[in-house]
């Protein structure tokens, strides 16, 4: 049975009402596609997620992965689903046709990525990691490497991994101690131990190509001396045939809180016998390459979060409409009613809706920007979108995943005791999604990236550009008959955000430790404002849709009950007003708390 209740309606709104796909298909790169094709592909992907991926999610969690003799066995059903995933092209939808991909725009495939992750985060990680690794080879590898590896990986015949973390080098990648040594035959001999390698192996991988960060002996210490290597599990000969085991060995797998279907491996290279690899790109450029694909990887991490938040939200709504418990508030001793009638439950659902749909809208904007930043035919448009994306990314990643976790927490509360039991999907959602706040750069690291790097990029102009956009939006809608008050609250929040940003940027360099105490609060404040903005954008559009249908930008209960579109649009207005009132309206006090100069956390002696 599928646990995934996928919200097709909200995605149709984003793809076809909020954004203009024609604009995307106007780009040279996507000239061969039409909207119908994109829709058909997306619908098939969603169906695949519901029918094939969702059913193995719960059982895969319960069974987990096994390791023996350096090889991983994934849960039952994974191998079969993986085969189908590859056969149907879902590993490579957005990747280059030159290597077996379909070259579809990221933005148009976002519903599929959400559905796949919502259906089975642990399972789909194998696909995302493999794609990511292949993409690195495609972008930075030699022609030979591309020819040898990319198609095999994009089609799912082989797997791929990203090997960054070591026992002493997690958030601080530059501290890694893995080494590489050039051999007479042009290969490198790789030695080292990597931990937390997601999808480090699987019984359905014909081979695995590990993308390994290591330091060529003699290269500089720290991040500047790190190079990237492609290290296959089984050696790949120049003619494409597979040779001997390359001694990339799975030493153990982690026992985790969640994503138990995904094998989190400790890998050793060269510990039992020599392990060889080829360098990808130029020496000492490993981190540069990683950074160039980081925006995409972080969007994908955010999609995982938002996907699980939305899955949890949809489950909670369905359960609340079904489960009867307690009398209506106006008739407390009376017959039990569906719990969706209880105000406290409705409030929980509304907050879940705000985070789930708000982060979805945020990610959609990021995906749109990513497509145009990579594929626009105009250099200035490319740059504009790249700027927008650069600023957004830490918020997209950290805010989405933290609030996704909060959403799954609320989802459990809506289910009550049932939410705590493994018979229902709610508690797995929470356990699975927790990892998204940790990997792809912990959310603490994201906050430092936002405050320490992104806010300063190009003299702070990325931030100013966003604030101007927001300010225009507020001006435009503050007299809206229904959304005016919320627009003004958003404007107040924008003011608070601006004040904090100015205050933080004017702190002396010597006070950096105190300034950085505000990194996480600043990211949260910025996220509240930006997600409020995204929801309000959708609400304004929804109000004009209602206006067109009903002659006014609001709807009665009867009108909502009579027409699903009316209910949907009115709901978009509701959730924006709710979120702005309930979350964004704290901005002023948040900002004040950040600028009072209470730095006791740095004074404490533990």
Task: Note whether 478 binds a second copy by CB under 8 A.
Answer: no
Under DSSP, the state recorded for 509 is G
For residue 173, what are the CA distances in angstroms to 216, 249, 311? 15, 21, 33
The site string for a second copy over 85-114 (x = CB under 8 A, - otherwise) reads ------------------------------
Choice between 1 and 604, CB closer to a second copy: 604
Residue from 504, 517, 541, 550 touching a second copy (CB under 8 A): that is 517
Task: Note whether 1 binds a second copy by CB under 8 A.
Answer: no
Choice between 36 and 558, CB closer to a second copy: 558
Q: Which residues of 192-212 are buried (b: 16+ CB within 10 A; e: fewer)?
A: bbbbbbbbbbbebbebbbbbb
Task: Note whether 412 binds a second copy by CB under 8 A.
Answer: yes
Shortest Å distance, C-beta 404 to a second copy = 12
Residue from 56, 430, 455, 525 touching a second copy (CB under 8 A): that is 430
φ, ψ (nearest 5 deg) of residue 89: 80, 20
Contacts of 175 (CB under 8 A, 6+ apart): 166, 168, 169, 222
DSSP states along 516-542: HTTHHHHHHHHHHHHHHHHHHHHHHHH
Angstrom distance (rounded) from CA 340 to CA 311: 17
Choice between 50 and 398, CB closer to a second copy: 398
Residue from 100, 101, 419, 527 touching a second copy (CB under 8 A): that is 419
Which H/E stretch holds residue 182?
strand 179-182
Residue 575 near residue 535, CB atoms below 8 Å: yes
The site string for a second copy over 520-559 (x = CB under 8 A, - otherwise) reads xx-----------------------------------x--
Task: Note whether 195 binds a second copy by CB under 8 A.
Answer: yes
Choice between 54 and 317, CB closer to a second copy: 317
Mode of pairing for the β-strands spanning 226-232 and 208-216: antiparallel
Q: How many residues bind to a second copy according to rule CB under 8 A? A: 100
Shortest Å distance, C-beta 574 to a second copy = 4
Task: Note whether 508 binds a second copy by CB under 8 A.
Answer: no
Choice between 71 and 560, CB closer to a second copy: 560
Choice between 340 and 374, CB closer to a second copy: 340
Residues numbered 250 to 269 that lie near a second copy (CB under 8 A) are: 254-258
Shortest Å distance, C-beta 339 to a second copy = 9
Task: Note whether 577 binds a second copy by CB under 8 A.
Answer: yes
Of the candidates 106, 197, 211, 201, the one whose C-alpha atom is nearest the C-alpha of residue 149 is 211
Positive or negative CA dihedral for 367, 371, 374, 377? negative
Choice between 126 and 522, CB closer to a second copy: 522
Which residues are registered as beta bridge partners of 159?
208
Of the candidates 461, 471, 450, the one whose C-alpha atom is nearest the C-alpha of residue 395 is 450
Of the candidates 379, 392, 500, the one whose C-alpha atom is nearest the C-alpha of residue 446 is 392
Mode of pairing for the β-strands spanning 208-216 and 159-163: parallel
Other C-beta atoms lying within 10 Å of the C-beta of residue 282: 12
Residues numbered 213 to 242 that lie near a second copy (CB under 8 A) are: 222
Residues numbered 326 to 385 that lie near a second copy (CB under 8 A) are: 326-327, 329-330, 333, 336, 340, 342-350
Choice between 29 and 560, CB closer to a second copy: 560
Residue 81 near residue 54, CB atoms below 8 Å: no
Which H/E stretch holds residue 264?
strand 264-269
Choice between 149 and 196, CB closer to a second copy: 196
Which residues are registered as beta bridge partners of 474?
none
Give me the catalytic one of 191, 440, 558, 561. Answer: 440
Choice between 465 and 514, CB closer to a second copy: 514
Task: Note whether 589 binds a second copy by CB under 8 A.
Answer: yes
Angstrom distance (rounded) from CA 215 to CA 174: 10
Residues numbered 432 to 471 that lie near a second copy (CB under 8 A) are: 434-435, 437-439, 442-444, 447-448
The angle, 0 to 180 degrees and rounded to 10, between the axes of the packed helices 484-505 and 457-477 is 160
Task: Note whether 416 binds a second copy by CB under 8 A.
Answer: yes
Residue from 420, 453, 456, 464 touching a second copy (CB under 8 A): that is 420
Task: Note whether 593 binds a second copy by CB under 8 A.
Answer: yes
From 42-50, 178-186, 278-286, 428-436, span contacting a second copy (CB under 8 A) = 428-436
The residue written with tokens 């040594």 in the block is 181
Other C-beta atoms lying within 10 Å of the C-beta of residue 321: 11
From 10-18, 166-174, 303-311, 454-462, span contacting a second copy (CB under 8 A) = 166-174
Active site residue 440: yes
544 three-class SS: helix
Shortest Å distance, C-beta 39 to a second copy = 26
What's the start-to-end Cα distance of the chain, in Å?
51
Task: Note whether 413 binds a second copy by CB under 8 A.
Answer: yes
Choice between 35 and 593, CB closer to a second copy: 593
Task: Note whether 193 binds a second copy by CB under 8 A.
Answer: no
Residue from 76, 171, 183, 481 touching a second copy (CB under 8 A): that is 171
As given in the structure block, the two tokens for residue 592 are 């004040």
Shortest Å distance, C-beta 603 to a second copy = 6
Shortest Å distance, C-beta 424 to a second copy = 10
38 three-class SS: helix
Which residues are registered as beta bridge partners of 176?
none
From 96-104, 134-142, 240-248, 573-581, span contacting a second copy (CB under 8 A) = 573-581
Task: Note whether 481 binds a second copy by CB under 8 A.
Answer: no
Residue 489 CA neighbour count, 13 Å, CB half? 22
Residue from 90, 124, 196, 372 touching a second copy (CB under 8 A): that is 196
Task: Note whether 485 binds a second copy by CB under 8 A.
Answer: yes
Of the candidates 280, 471, 495, 309, the one whose C-alpha atom is nearest the C-alpha of residue 406 is 309
Catalytic residue ranges: 440
């Amino acid at each position: 049975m599928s646990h995934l209740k996928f919200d097709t309606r909200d995605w149709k709104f984003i793809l076809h009402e909020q954004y203009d796909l024609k604009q995307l298909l106007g780009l040279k790169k996507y000239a061969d596609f039409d909207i119908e094709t994109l829709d058909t592909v997306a619908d098939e992907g969603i169906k695949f997620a519901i029918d094939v991926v969702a059913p193995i999610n719960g059982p895969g969690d319960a069974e987990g992965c096994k390791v023996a003799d350096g090889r991983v066995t994934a849960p039952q059903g994974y191998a079969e689903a993986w085969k189908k995933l590859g056969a149907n092209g879902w590993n490579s939808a957005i990747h280059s046709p030159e290597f077996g991909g379909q070259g579809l725009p990221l933005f148009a495939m976002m519903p599929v990525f959400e559905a796949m992750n919502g259906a089975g985060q642990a399972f789909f990680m194998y696909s995302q990691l493999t794609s990511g690794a292949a993409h690195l080879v495609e972008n930075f590898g030699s022609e030979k490497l591309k020819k040898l590896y990319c198609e095999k990986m994009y089609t799912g015949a082989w797997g791929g991994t990203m090997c960054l973390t070591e026992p002493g080098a997690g958030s601080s990648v530059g501290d890694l101690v893995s080494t590489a040594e050039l051999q007479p035959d042009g290969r490198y001999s790789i030695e080292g131990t990597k931990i937390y390698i997601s999808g480090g192996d699987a019984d359905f991988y014909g081979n695995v190509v590990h993308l390994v960060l290591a330091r060529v002996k003699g290269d500089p210490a720290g991040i500047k001396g790190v190079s990237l290597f492609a290290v296959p599990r089984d050696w790949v000969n120049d003619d494409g045939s597979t040779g001997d085991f390359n001694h990339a060995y799975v030493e153990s797998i982690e026992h985790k809180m969640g994503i138990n279907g995904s094998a989190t491996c400790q890998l050793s290279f060269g510990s039992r016998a020599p392990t060889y690899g080829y360098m990808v790109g130029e020496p000492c450029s490993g981190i540069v390459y990683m950074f160039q694909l980081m925006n995409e990887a972080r969007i994908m991490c955010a999609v995982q979060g938002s996907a699980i938040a939305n899955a949890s939200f949809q489950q909670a709504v369905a359960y609340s409409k079904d489960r009867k418990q307690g009398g209506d508030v106006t008739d407390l001793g009376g017959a039990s009613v569906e719990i969706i009638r209880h105000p406290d439950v409705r409030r929980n659902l509304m907050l879940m809706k705000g985070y789930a749909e708000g982060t979805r809208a945020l990610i959609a904007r990021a995906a749109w920007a990513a497509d145009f930043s990579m594929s626009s035919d105009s250099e200035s448009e490319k740059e504009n979108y790249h700027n927008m994306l650069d600023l957004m990314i830490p918020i997209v990643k950290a805010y989405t995943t933290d609030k996704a976790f909060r959403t799954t927490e609320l989802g459990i509360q809506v289910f009550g005791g049932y939410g705590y039991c493994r018979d229902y999907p709610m508690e797995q959602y929470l356990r699975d999604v927790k990892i998204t706040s940790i990997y792809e750069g912990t959310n603490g690291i994201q906050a430092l990236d936002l405050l320490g790097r992104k806010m300063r990029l190009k003299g702070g102009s990325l931030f100013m550009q966003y604030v101007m956009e927001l300010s225009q939006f507020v001006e435009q809608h503050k007299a809206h008959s229904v959304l005016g008050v919320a627009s003004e609250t958003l404007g107040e929040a924008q003011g608070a955000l601006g004040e904090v940003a100015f205050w933080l940027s004017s702190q002396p360099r010597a006070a950096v430790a105190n300034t950085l105490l505000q990194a996480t609060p600043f990211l949260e404040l910025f996220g509240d404002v930006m997600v409020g903005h995204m929801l309000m954008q959708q609400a304004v559009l929804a109000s004009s849709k209602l206006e067109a249908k009903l002659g006014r930008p609001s709807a009665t209960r009867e009108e909502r009950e009579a027409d699903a579109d009316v209910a949907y649009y009115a709901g978009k207005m509701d959730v924006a007003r709710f979120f702005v009132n309930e979350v964004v309206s704290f901005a002023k006090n948040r900002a004040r708390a950040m600028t009072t100069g209470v730095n006791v956390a740095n004074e404490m002696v533990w």
